[in-house]
Amino acid sequence: MSASQLKYETTEEMVEFRSGRNLFYRKTVTTFPTSNRSPPDQNKKHRLNILFVHGSCAASSQYDSLVTELGTVIQTNENIGTTPTSTSINDTGVGVGVDSMHCHLYDQLGCARSKHPSNDWDAYSSDEHHLDLKCIAQSFLQSDGEKNNTSGSLAAKFYIVAHSYGVSQTIKLVNSLPASDAAKISGLVLIGGAVKGGPGSLAKDGGHWIFSRYVPMTILRMMQPSLSRSFAEAAIHPSNMEKMIESGCTDVSKGNDMAMCKAFYRQQEYATKEEASMIKVKSLVVHGAGDKIFPLSEAESLYEALGNPYQITSIPEASHQVFEERPQVVAKAMVNFIFSQTSGTYLARDKSIVPN
């Protein structure tokens, strides 16, 4: 079955999730055609619900390629279970009984298509962003619950995918949810993340020194092109730079207001190893082997700190933007993880390196 058989439906809107917090919100529904092969249980299909949390001063559009690849990989069941320590997924049909995939994405305040309050330092505080995410997550967890369809019950499965600083935001989120809400989350996919507290950790509150109070805003605005270029050189593997530039992936931060960036980074608060240890939701850690923002050692520290780690997957020829650089490989790792929650046929828990 080809990806062309997939059905996509996208809705976009500005939503005031909290008073004065107008955020761009997008939902993409991928519907899978009926398989010619029977799923493991004819009367039980799954609706995948995935909430995506982007990194600091980034955009939800960065996940577009990954969302597309997830649909393709689920549809074709291609090369699932090919990591060295895995057991292959049984040949039991499209998505092991997956009916549809509902991807929920939003731009954080001040980023991309969300509102950009000016001269409002407090609007960009870590606490305010946390409350936004908590409101969105609780709405997300209440959506698409157990429903009926023509083939029987349709069980909703909830996952959260987070990148970079979004990993810390997600850890803090899960720990703040009521137990009944946290229990609904089937798994976390933590990409390019880090937690503070380890020896030599690069995850430090307050952001880069360039955003200190001593650097005037006029200087920051003059430096914005060089800062964006320096970030791209560190966040993208050299082998992927040309295609990333051609696709416009390197342009995301160019439109950011530097006053917003300064307010955001100065108030940035990373999750601690202790907070990570409190996470009881099964978690997959994905990291670019050549990450120059947070080296692989940061991912290993995060993995070891998590309360319910599943697997750490290091992807070669990729850096910090691994999910944009090699979306198909990340999608395969994610689908392996998701299928393990629905079929139980992929049981690897060791560290693995995804082959080229």
Spell out the domain ranges in the chain. Answer: 7-31+49-54+67-72+99-146+156-341
Contacts of 281 by beta carbon, 8 Å cutoff, 6+ apart: 174, 182, 185, 186, 187, 188, 308
Q: What is the pTM of this model?
A: 0.88
Closest CA to 190 of 47, 334, 83, 84: 334
Residue 151 in contact with residue 42, Cβ under 8 Å? yes
Q: Which residues of the chain have pLDDT under 50?
A: 1, 35-43, 78-95, 145-152, 343-353, 355-356
The H-or-E segment that residue 138 falls in is: helix 126-141
Contact 177, 253 (CB under 8 A): no
CATH 3.40.50.1820 fits 7-31+49-54+67-72+99-146+156-341, yes or no: yes
Name the residue with tokens 């229990």: 183
- The pLDDT of residue 3 is 54
- Cα–Cα distances (Å) from 54 to 27, 109, 133, 159, 321, in that order, read 15, 12, 11, 14, 11
pLDDT at 114: 95
Distance (Å, whole) CA 7 – CA 49: 16
Confidence (pLDDT) at 198 = 76
What is the per-residue pLDDT for 156? 80
At 39 the pLDDT is 44
Q: Check if the beta carbon of residue 324 is closer than 8 Å to that of residue 273.
A: no
Task: Quote the pLDDT of residue 36.
Answer: 34
